[in-house]
Structure 1
Amino acid sequence: MTGGHRLGPLAEIPVGEGRAYTVGGERIAVFHLRTGELRAVSAVCPHAGGPLADGQIDDEIVICPLHQHTYDLTTGCSRSGQKDLRVYATEVTADGHVVVRVP
């Protein structure tokens, strides 16, 4: 992935959980889905600044731990009437590291 930022080993993000990273001054939440796929979105809930990496996830949504607002992990679209999240492209390198692209 050209222009990507290496965040660390995929093994540091347990399946079914998320982790927050700061990349280029932006907070990004990276989620390791049960399907094995990765999703990356803005790490801060636009409603009240909740830590989205701590939210519960399934293969489609993350639920903010503060006020239960929901966001689509693929599109970043709010499912509860809040401002949408920014979405970031991710990949796993051949040596097992997570890379995210921040425009």
Structure 2
Amino acid sequence: MNWIEIGELSDIPLRGARCVKTPQGKIAVFRTAENDVFAIEDHCPHRGGPLSQGIVHGRAVTCPLHNWVISLETGRALGADEGEVRTIPVRNEDGKLFIALESLMLAAAE
């Protein structure tokens, strides 16, 4: 995989997110209260709301537009809602964050 550096863990507040622009679209990178990091597409499967502006709780984010809850682990909508976004492999190496560029390229080609 081709890993690209996107910043530092400290760039993302606890229970917060940062948006990264890529040629394939915006990626939301989340940091949980436990310092786990996840990356998913930055649009809700419901109406395209900016997930990076949502509320992080546990290993999920709530969309700021219509309160859909999206799993940060799987990208799937939780509860009665249906839909999903792509998850992007993310790696934390001593506080430096990387996402897998190849996974974005492959998904864009599908």
Tell me whether the two structures share a fold, i.e. TM-score over 0.5.
Answer: yes
Q: Quote the sequence identity (%).
A: 28
Q: Which residue does the alignment assign to 2:11?
A: 12
The Cα shift of 1:23 comes to: 2.1
The Cα shift of 1:36 comes to: 0.9
Alignment of 1:31-46 (within 5 A): 31-46=30-45
The Cα shift of 1:24 comes to: 3.1
The Cα shift of 1:4 comes to: 1.1
Distance 2:58 2:96 in 1: 21
Alignment root-mean-square deviation, CA: 1.4
Matched, 1:82 2:82: yes
Between structures 1 and 2, the one with greater helix share: 2
Q: Which residue does the alignment assign to 1:92?
A: 92
Q: Which residue does the alignment assign to 1:25?
A: 24
| 3-state DSSP of counterpart to 2:89 | strand
What are structure 1's unaligned runs of at least 5 residues? none
Query: Normalising by structure 1, what TM-score?
Result: 0.89
Count of residue pairs brought into register by the alignment: 101
The Cα shift of 1:11 comes to: 1.1
Distance 1:21 1:81 in 2: 26
Q: Which residue does the alignment assign to 2:55?
A: 56
Distance 1:47 1:67 in 2: 8
Deviations 1:36-59 (CA, angstroms, capped at 9, x unpaired): 110111111121121101100112
